[in-house]
Every structure is written in C-alpha cells, then in structure tokens.
C-alpha cells in the first residue's frame, strides 16, 4: 500500500531581501536564498495577498461561469467567480460569498472547501482556496455595479461534464476553473462523495484568518 504524501512547511535561510516593485495589490520580491550545498541563489517572485474562487453548482449539475478578458494572455477566458483577499486576515468564506454576489448576483446556502492550491509556486506566493457552493438562489437587492473588464462579462451555467471535457481538450485554460471542475468531478466519483469535502471554515495555513 502506498504511503500517504503531504506537503510540509519548510523555510530556507534568506541572507538578503528587496522589493524592487510594489503595486496596489501585488509586488515583486528578490530573495538571496541559501541552498542545501551552501551556495546562495537569487530568487525573484511575485508577492500576492491570496485569492478565493467559487464552483457554484446548481440543482441541474451546472456550474456558474463567466467570460472575462484577460490582458496578459490576450484572451477572453471562461472562469468561475473569483477575487482577491483584499484585507489581511480576511475570512476566505466571506470573501468568496462577496465575489459570488458581486460577479453573479447569486447567493448559496451550502458551502464547503473544494481544494487549496498554489497557482505558480515557482514564481509567486499566491494561494487560492476554491469553494464549492450549492443551493443557489438570486441575491437580494440591486446588482453590484461593475466596471473595467468586468463590465463586459458574460454569464452562463454549463454542465460540469462539459467543463471537464473542455479542460481536457485544451479549450478551457483558467486555472481555477480547470482545477475546480476536475476536483469536483473527482469528489463526486469518490467513495465519500461531496460529504467528504472539508467544512467551509477549515483553517488555511497559507492564509490564516480569524472567525
């Protein structure tokens, strides 16, 4: 029987650090890191506050997705609702509920943690918690006023099986959508089903939060 594997915290010595760029939300850090053989290597990486994303699954096994222009890749991508953790220590569940409301004007009664990932750990410290949201309904009140790229968003509800097919066919590329769809498909096929998923308030060492 194969042994269980798990990631473990570890921090190598940093002899010097600098921040050559700091933007509104993200920055670039340069660290001189001591390698196991004693040499020192310079590592540049993006600093990021962290993000949340939501796989919102309705009672017809459709996932709520949106199409949004992403300038760095020069494509309009199908994505799931997602956003930054704007406040240090912010509860990721509250942030996810906010993003689902702002981007789709939808609320959900049932929330679980689907999966936690580092998006590009070789070049960024961004951590994303992807939630599964169920028992969907339209949110109360007026729709959130969107602007910039979000003003051109298109919303749709797509069968989970079609998202999985599109991801494996190389037709869908947004990391949160691909990871979320494949993780949900795997969870549904597992022996414990969705009941085996972690509670929405599960601690998240990558981005600790209170309450």
Report, as residue numbers or ranges, the catalytic residues.
Answer: 150
- φ/ψ of 206, rounded to 5, equals -65, -30
Instruction: Judge whether 177 and 89 are in contact, CB under 8 Å.
Output: no
**CB-based burial of residue 123 (10 Å sphere; 0-12 exposed, 13-18 middle, 19+ buried)?**
exposed
3-class SS at 101? helix
Q: Cα separation of 47 and 50, whole Å?
A: 9
Q: Cα separation of 160 and 31, whole Å?
A: 41
How many alpha carbons lie under 13 Å from residue 163 in its C-beta half-sphere?
30
Give the start-end residues of each E strand in 23-126.
27-34, 40-47, 51-56, 62-70, 75-79, 82-84, 106-118
Q: How many helices (H) and strands (E) does the chain have?
A: 3, 11
């Amino acid at each position: 029987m194969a042994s269980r594997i798990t990631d473990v915290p570890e921090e190598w010595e940093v002899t010097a650090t600098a921040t050559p760029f700091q933007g509104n939300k993200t920055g670039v850090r340069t660290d001189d890191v001591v390698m196991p053989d004693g040499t020192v290597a310079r590592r540049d990486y993006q600093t990021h506050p962290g993000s949340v994303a939501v796989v919102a699954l309705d009672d017809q096994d459709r996932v709520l997705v949106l199409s949004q222009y992403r300038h760095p890749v020069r494509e309009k991508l199908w994505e799931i609702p997602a956003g930054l953790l704007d406040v240090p220590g912010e509860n990721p569940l509250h942030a996810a509920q906010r993003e689902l409301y702002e981007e789709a004007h939808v609320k959900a009664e049932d929330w679980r943690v689907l999966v936690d990932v580092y998006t590009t750990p070789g070049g960024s410290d961004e951590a994303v918690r992807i939630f599964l949201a169920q028992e969907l309904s339209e949110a109360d009140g007026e729709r959130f006023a969107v602007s910039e790229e979000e003003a051109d968003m298109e919303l749709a509800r797509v069968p989970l099986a079609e998202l999985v097919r599109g991801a494996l066919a190389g037709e869908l590329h947004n990391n949160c959508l691909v990871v979320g769809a494949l993780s949900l498909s795997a969870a549904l096929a597992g022996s414990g089903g969705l009941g085996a998923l972690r509670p929405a308030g599960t601690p998240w060492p990558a981005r600790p939060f209170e309450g």
